[in-house]
Structure 1
Amino acid sequence: MKHRTLALPLSVLTLAALTGCGSLSIGGSDERDTVTVWLMQNSASKGFLEKFEKEYEAENGDVDLDITIQEWTGVGKKVTEALADEDADAPDVIEVGNTQVAQYVDQGGLLDLSLESMRDLGMEDWLPGLAEPGSVKGAQYGIPWYAANRVVLYNKDLFKAAGIDKLPRDQEEWLALTERLNTGSQQGIYLAGQDWYTLAGFIWEEGGELAVDKDGIWSGSLDTPQALAGMDFYGRLQALGQGPKDADEQTPPQTDVFAKGKVAQIVTVPGSAKLIEEANPKLAGKIGYFPIPGKKAGRAGAVFTGGSDLVIPENTDQEWAAKDVIKALAGARWQKELATTMDYVPNKTTLASAVDANPGAAAMTEGAARGRATPTSPRWAAVEADNPIKQYMTEVLSGGDAKQAARLASQQITEALDVRHE
């Protein structure tokens, strides 16, 4: 596979799929077009990329793909520079994190793909957690590529020992089941006090928001009754284990805690099972998965969706060819291939059956249908830099006044999202 080596020290992005709508005609001359694609490290396997490149070029004889693998570290600066670059070597297609699209739109330089996404890509079935952050002020700039979200990983042996043979259908059943598992030295669940992505899902499940946009002005909204109800549920669940109140899920790594065999459940992505089994091979084959339960019986709860969108810089000199590459990557054929190869969630709810044979990915796909992303403010990164949501969670879990702590955190979010602070 042809990979162009970049001299720049920082990095960027990803790739995937084609369905029943035919490819666009990309020119009638004998000259071959080169489409430069920036994809992120580990977003797709080498084997997938080699297969995609070989078959795409065979089906589109006048196109060469130049796929360059980038790293996530420092990606923001590098993409920003690429969007402002008029050089012929600038990329034509870029993989970006789904929550980054609004920031790049605000900086300028992304191509509006609304017509293509509505006409040819079946956007009515896109996962909301990828499609919504890719849309800014009614225009679609990011085309969903792949998704991943949290599920509940559980220890099958501990469930069996507790006589639990049915998985919870809703939040109240989840609490009751977890309480049964929380005995002696055994934790019903390990949930760190500052796992704010998990909290976000509980808030959305109640109908609340982290922040709201009114006429272009963003403000924090953790102090609404719905958001407070989400925090209350988090507190009830977190109390059924021994997770720290003042640290996140990486301090210590919750996979290491689960690997000791005394924790019945954690909330994480399915891929964490591999880390657990590496730490404790005795747990191999003893880890199960189920979607995070929602308030309504039989319906998965709302979750934070991570993943990637594909974008095209306005300065591309291969606009139509770049659009055709995205149509391939975002279409059913390559979406199914990517999902089964990488244990991802495909970009459409109608493609969910592609991962039915994989229990972890199947559980993840159920949740993804109700997935969300962080607020689409271009300044959301400023919130995460000194995250007041984490501080708010610790205050509440430590016995502080929830309403007062929520008002303070909401005020801090509002200040961070204020464009006048730039």
Structure 2
Amino acid sequence: MNIRPLAGPVALMATLALCVTACGSTDDPANADGAAKVTVWIMKDSVTDDFLTRFRTDFEATHKGTTLDIQIQEWDGIGEKVTAALASKDAPDVIEVGNTQVAQYAASGGVRDLSAKVAELNGADWLPGLAEPGKVDGKQFGIPWYAANRVVIYHKELFAKAGITAPPKTRAEWLTVTAKLDEGSTQGIYLPGQNWYTLSGFIWEDGGDLAVRNGTQWKGALDTPQALAGMDFYRQLQALGKGPKDSDEAKPPQADVFAKGDVAQIIAVPGGAKIVEEANPALTGKLGFFPIPGKTADKPGAVFTGGSDLIVPEASAHPDAAYEVVKALAGEKWQTEMARTMSYVPNRTSLAHVIQDDEGTAAMAAGAAQGRATPNSPQWAAVEATNPIKQYMTAVLTGTDPARAAKDASESITKTLGS
């Protein structure tokens, strides 16, 4: 899943408008296909124009004879555009895609299998929640580029006022702390009833899943005891605030609600704090971060990992040079640069230390180690289009029998995944 569907962008960067085209010789022995120009599609607002300029300059200096044509793409309508490109004979050489979109694109047969490159790319060190969506039927089509996940953003002064000196480490502590905060005019937490990405983490933490695969068939799994336990925890936490039961974090924007100053916690990506501070500058310096707590104190809870992968189309005119671009962007040097520039979580667990000086990003990196992704089915995008999970959540929060609501939602998911 790309970052755009998260509740608020990871970072609101200036509009990118970089399309670099240059000419050069083709005498680079490292490029067996004699590449002269490599076309790279990067999504709008993924990284800054300065980052791309620095990357292009460095890449072209170290890959003589190859130049980069970096083209910025809009998120709106990108699915159809990528699908058409993969089916054409004139595809770009490298494409950034949302990590949970890889299965859909790979099903078309137009994406190059990069399994043989995983060891060279240090794949054993990749974040599981970012790497797994790029792997379809045992083949690695998507190479992890960057990740982001939700954390708890909290109001430090409200915590101090309630006598809470440290963030909770376990789910049980979290409920106790939040109940203590939920007094008088203060909301313990603002948690909308349809924040299904957050629910997904709770379900995974309890050992459940949204859907499971049996051979070639997928089946909705919200009605398992484990998934029902995750939903029950969500219900308990959501009750400790005044969040709506029938909408998600965008309606109304939860950053605007938090900016009023009477909410103790929200669940969002760390960049959401900047949006809150822009809405209410008086909160600048008063917001803290901690990973979503797990069932035990030894590790954070499971979370949904959003982010992007890099793919190489089968129709790439310069597959060897395209791989070199992927290798560079996914490698230690530019992963470190991107993490520090964009406050993203690097694709490797061993690089978590490069962002430890930023409280929000450090909390996100700690949670990323427990990151997961949505079911790796080409049809999952169709599930999200109608999203029976949201309807299920509202049904439970408004009094419907959880088991019955979960069964209905699971049947809907099964039908869509099998279509």
Distance 2:326 2:350 in 1: 19
Local SS of the residue matching 2:304:
strand
1:284 is aligned to 2:284: yes
Distance 2:239 2:400 in 1: 15
1:3 corresponds to: 19
Cα contact 1:93–1:310 (8 A) shared by 2? yes
Local SS of the residue matching 2:293:
coil
Distance 2:32 2:372 in 1: 39
1:89-145 Cα shifts (integer Å, max 9, x gaps): x20000000000000011220000000112x11111101111000000000000000
1:106 corresponds to: 107
**Correspondences of 1:232-381 after superposition (within 5 Å):** 232-381=232-381
**Correspondences of 1:165-176 after superposition (within 5 Å):** 165-176=165-176
Mean CA deviation greater in 140-149 or 55-64: 55-64
Alignment RMSD (CA, Å): 1.4
Local SS of the residue matching 2:133:
coil
Q: How far off its partner does 1:400 sit?
A: 1.2
The count of corresponding residues between Structure 1 and Structure 2 is 397
Distance 1:205 1:183 in 2: 28
Cα contact 1:302–1:367 (8 A) shared by 2? yes
Distance 2:94 2:138 in 1: 21
Counterpart residue type for residue 217 of structure 2: I
Counterpart residue type for residue 171 of structure 1: R
Q: How far off its partner does 1:399 sit?
A: 1.4
Structure 1 24/253 Cα, relative in aligned 2: closer, same or farther at 3 Å? farther
Cα contact 2:35–2:318 (8 A) shared by 1? no
Q: How far off its partner does 1:4 sit?
A: 6.1
1:74 corresponds to: 77
Distance 2:185 2:29 in 1: 62
Distance 1:382 1:76 in 2: 12
Structure 1 92/102 Cα, relative in aligned 2: closer, same or farther at 3 Å? same
Q: Give the ranges of 4+ consecutive aligned residues of structure 1 lying more than 6 Å apart after TM superposition.
A: none
TM-score, scaled relative to structure 2:
0.93
Q: How far off its partner does 1:266 sit?
A: 0.3
Distance 2:235 2:263 in 1: 18
1:41 to 19, 41, 44: 44
Q: How far off its partner does 1:27 sit?
A: 3.6
Counterpart residue type for residue 3 of structure 1: C
Counterpart residue type for residue 172 of structure 1: A
Local SS of the residue matching 1:132:
helix
**Correspondences of 1:133-282 after superposition (within 5 Å):** 133-282=133-282
Distance 2:108 2:272 in 1: 35
2:95 corresponds to: 94
Cα contact 2:145–2:308 (8 A) shared by 1? yes
Structure 1 2/198 Cα, relative in aligned 2: closer, same or farther at 3 Å? closer
Counterpart residue type for residue 25 of structure 1: A
Counterpart residue type for residue 384 of structure 1: E
Distance 2:70 2:259 in 1: 38
Local SS of the residue matching 1:133:
helix
Structure 1 2/202 Cα, relative in aligned 2: closer, same or farther at 3 Å? closer
TM-score, scaled relative to structure 1:
0.92
Distance 2:177 2:341 in 1: 34
Counterpart residue type for residue 333 of structure 2: R
1:26 corresponds to: 31
Cα contact 1:198–1:303 (8 A) shared by 2? yes
Distance 1:374 1:252 in 2: 25
Q: How far off its partner does 1:26 sit?
A: 1.0
Counterpart residue type for residue 103 of structure 1: Q
Q: Which runs of 5+ in 1 are unaligned?
A: 6-22
Distance 2:118 2:72 in 1: 25
Q: How far off its partner does 1:180 sit?
A: 0.7
Structure 1 409/2 Cα, relative in aligned 2: closer, same or farther at 3 Å? closer
Counterpart residue type for residue 39 of structure 2: T
1:21-73 Cα shifts (integer Å, max 9, x gaps): xx982149xx6621110000011101100000001101111210111010111
> Identical aligned pairs, as a percentage?
61
Distance 2:272 2:35 in 1: 43
Cα contact 1:196–1:389 (8 A) shared by 2? yes
Cα contact 1:24–1:324 (8 A) shared by 2? no
Q: How far off its partner does 1:158 sit?
A: 0.3
Counterpart residue type for residue 378 of structure 2: P
Q: How far off its partner does 1:185 sit?
A: 1.2
Counterpart residue type for residue 410 of structure 2: S
**Correspondences of 1:378-397 after superposition (within 5 Å):** 378-397=378-397
Local SS of the residue matching 1:96:
strand
Q: How far off its partner does 1:298 sit?
A: 3.1
1:19 corresponds to: none
Counterpart residue type for residue 183 of structure 1: E
1:54 corresponds to: 57
Local SS of the residue matching 2:361:
helix
Distance 1:152 1:356 in 2: 17
Local SS of the residue matching 2:212:
strand
Distance 2:18 2:286 in 1: 41
Cα contact 2:32–2:320 (8 A) shared by 1? no
Distance 1:225 1:408 in 2: 15
Distance 1:24 1:386 in 2: 50
